[in-house]
Structure 1
Amino acid sequence: MSTETKFASNVQDLSNSTGVDAGFQFEFYCERCRDRWRTAFKPYRSAQAGGWLQKGASLFGGILGNAGSVLNSMAEAGWHSARDTAFKEAVEEGKRHFNRCGNCHDYVCRQCFDGANGLCFDCAPNVQVAITRSRAQGEVYSASQRANDEGQSRGLRHDVRKEMQLVCPQCRTETHGAKFCPECGFKMAQQVQCQACPTMLEPGTKFCTECGHRQA
């Protein structure tokens, strides 16, 4: 694969073929970090001249308009050749800003390239960076495990048998188990345990529905 073709896969053509702002400009990007570098704008004089004459024609008319059309036709005919030349120059200039990885063959910026090994940092990761990343990952993993253990310890202190109203029956607000609705103040119906067995009963129940014990 030629250099020109390879670079064409990571370049945006910003060139404009017509009008007073006609010219050539290309933007290349690093295939690792996606940072971008843009060539200096090079005006396409033939098209620019035609553009100015066309603008003049809108004010004065007559021969200016005809001359502008002729110049535009000439500029259009020479556009592709001029663009190819400008692109080749841009590629040569881009080589000074990008390096080609010897393994994956991607073009990367200087910050993403290990010049000593001729490889990008994806193919030859920086040892110190890898150590720091692994240490951080290990720290997160260890802290997560401890947090999980702490969560399990806290969970043992919750009464999971107790039923709670999670939505207020009056205004339908979520209560998250609160005794009173945080929106309207309605008192939630909290179940109570039977005085003789673990069965949970609705407030005001006179006899346990499980063991029949009379509630005081």
Structure 2
Amino acid sequence: MEEVRFGDNYRDLCVESGVNAGFQFEFFCERCGDSWRTQFVPYRSGQASGWLGKVGSVVGGILGGAGEALEGLAESGWGKARDAAFRSALEQAKIHFHRCARCFQYVCDRCWNREKGLCFNCAPDARVEVEAARAEGEVYAAGEKAAQEGIRRGKKMEVREERQLVCPQCGTETKGAAFCPECGTRLAVKARCPRCSAEIPSGVKFCPQCGQKVGG
């Protein structure tokens, strides 16, 4: 039952056979993801069979056969030894993790609200939430202020005048300039009356709509 309860937040790092055989488990906080790892506990039977296997591969004969026999014994005892090591690891993990009574997740000390007896997801720190709300409010207010400034600037922009945004000669983006920044081609920008914004035909001195002087 214990293994099932920790099924979502541990990793089995055990090695069954070979010179590095042993038991080790890594547990994770289910809120922040920080991990804690048990100390490595050697599995002597597995290590012994690993060493005999290495020696046997070199000298052969009796040692090689002994290595195979010892490996068989190590494999037969692995299951019980691993279960015992895991139970010990669970007892150690309980010191480092807390099980939230509301969401049933295991969390580390930093994610545990000791005053409430719950994780910070279920019982957030009021002081932290206040500061976060204040920062969020500042960002929101600054965004509104910036939007108003943008509206103010936008009202001063000339939006009726049509501009060529791409040079017909070389295809460069012009961003509304009178001349192409790449090849210098003069771009077609229609003249408009400063008083009524009517389009002014080339060569005229007065606006045909309101009579405003537009030429020299």
> Structure 1 length normalisation: TM-score?
0.86
The aligned length equals 211
Equivalent residues in 2 for 1:32-71, closer than 5 Å = 32-71=31-70
Query: SS state of the match for residue 193, structure 1?
Result: coil
Deviation, structure 1 residue 182: 3.3
Per the alignment, in what secondary structure is the counterpart of residue 27 of structure 1?
Answer: strand
Looking at structure 2, the residues matched to 173 and 64 of structure 1 have their Cα atoms a distance apart, in angstroms, of 80
- SS of 1:158's equivalent in the other structure is coil
Cα deviations by residue, 1:163-216 (Å, 9 ceiling, x for unpaired): 1222222332222223333333433322222689634468x588xxx97x9x96
Matched, 1:132 2:131: yes
Quote the residue 2:90 is aligned against: 91
SS at match of 2:107: strand
Matched residues in 2 for 1:105 and 1:90: separation? 20
Q: 1:119 to 1:186 in 2, by over 3 A?
A: same
For structure 2, which runs of at least 5 residues remain unmatched after alignment?
none
Q: d(CA) in 1 for partners of 2:164 and 2:57? A: 77
Instruction: Give how far 1:121 is off.
Output: 0.9
Secondary structure of 2:36's aligned partner: strand
Residue of structure 2 in register with 1:18 after alignment: 17
Any gaps of 5 or more consecutive residues in structure 1?
none
Identity of aligned residues (%): 51
CA distance in 2, matches of 1:41, 1:195: 83
CA offset digits 1:25-68 (Å, max 9, x no partner)? 11111111111111111111111111112222232222222222
TM-score by length of 2: 0.86
Which segments of structure 1 move beyond 6 Å, counting only runs of 4 or more? Answer: none
Report Cα offsets for 1:102-121 as digits up to 9, x if no partner: 21121111111112221111
Relative to structure 1, the CA distance from residue 46 to residue 186 in structure 2 (aligned partners, 3 Å threshold; closer, same or farther) is farther
Kindly provide the CA deviation profile for residues 129-169 of structure 1, in whole angstroms up to 9, marking residues without a partner as x. Answer: 01101100111111111111111111111111111222222
- Aligned residues: CA RMSD: 2.6
